[in-house]
Amino acid sequence: MKVECNLHTKIVNGEELTEEDYQVLSEIIKDVLTFMAKERIIPSPQNYERWFKIFCYVRENRLNLSKAELVDLYLESYQTKEGLTAVESADLVERIAEELFNEIRSLIKGATHHTDEISKGGEKLEEIAKEITSSDIQRVLSRIMQEVKGLKNLNRKFIQKLELQTQEIEKLRDELRKVKEEANVDALTGLRNRRSFERTLQEFYRDYKKFGYPFSLIMMDLDNFKQVNDTYGHLVGDRVLKEIGNILRNYLRAKDVPARTGGEEFAIILPGVTKKEAIMVAERLRRVISKHKVKVDSSELSVTASFGVSEINDDVEEPEDLLREADKNLYQAKRTGKDKVVG
């Protein structure tokens, strides 16, 4: 099935849009962005254009479709499930919303200026009318002034609608920010998740290659954590992980990047820090964690952690090399007694 959309065709062909077209366009864009954000559809240009045509088609044909029916229409039209389940950054969607927001604010500014000009013209007509003695001319001026008042009211209503749309877009931007945060944050600890960590590591690696900006990497693993889950249950295990997350946030600098990269595995990027300094940071974290007590009913639970440290240098050909070195050192710490730092 081929989805046809007259408004989309006009845009593609560069035809002039009417005020009604712009109104419909803004509403379709809002619906598309909201749908893509809620359903976590990859915000690629291709996906955005396809879903725009779907929503435009639905609107032009006055269809009232459920989410499942919309998806069926999409699959029937494009014969693919691409982009329906993958979780990706909402950067592109947010950018489009930002552009739409700025465009509407510009329209509001222009409409407000237009209203001011109409008011000034109306005031001048009223002044002239006071000086005119001809009843015929006064009747004409009276009708013109009524038209002016009507234009002002129409303009005010238009501005009110635009203001409502900016409020809706603000809500959408808040939702997009939440979606991006959820896509980047580990729900249990509040730290970055593995996906976000790997992307950030790539960025630091590129900065080093381009500007020579140094950084070090710490990999950390809680010792014997399976025993904690087996002995106390997963709820207590989750509490331990949450408190470890709090320790990392409280004992690291604001510019450091801690992340939960696995079950009981954590990683930390330390910008501008040498391996020697990173080992000192890891040692301090090791001591804090080993002394920390987690309350379990009427008793207390202690855990320890092992650390592996690596530092970026010119011999590192890709970020994975840095991870492998830190992981090798972490394994050495585990193998030689645990609750220690190896770098």
Report the catalytic residues.
264
Give the pairing of strands 215-222 and 305-311. Answer: antiparallel
Distance CA 127, CA 138 (A): 12
Instruction: Find the angle CA(341)-CA(246)-CA(298) to the nearest 5 degrees.
Output: 95
Length of the chain: 343
CA end-to-end span of the chain: 60
Half-sphere exposure of 316 (CA within 13 A, CB side): 25
Distance CA 130, CA 124 (A): 10
Q: Is 279 exposed, middle or buried (0-12, 13-18, 19+ CB in 10 A)?
A: buried
Give the pairing of strands 341-342 and 305-311. Answer: parallel
Distance CA 278, CA 259 (A): 16
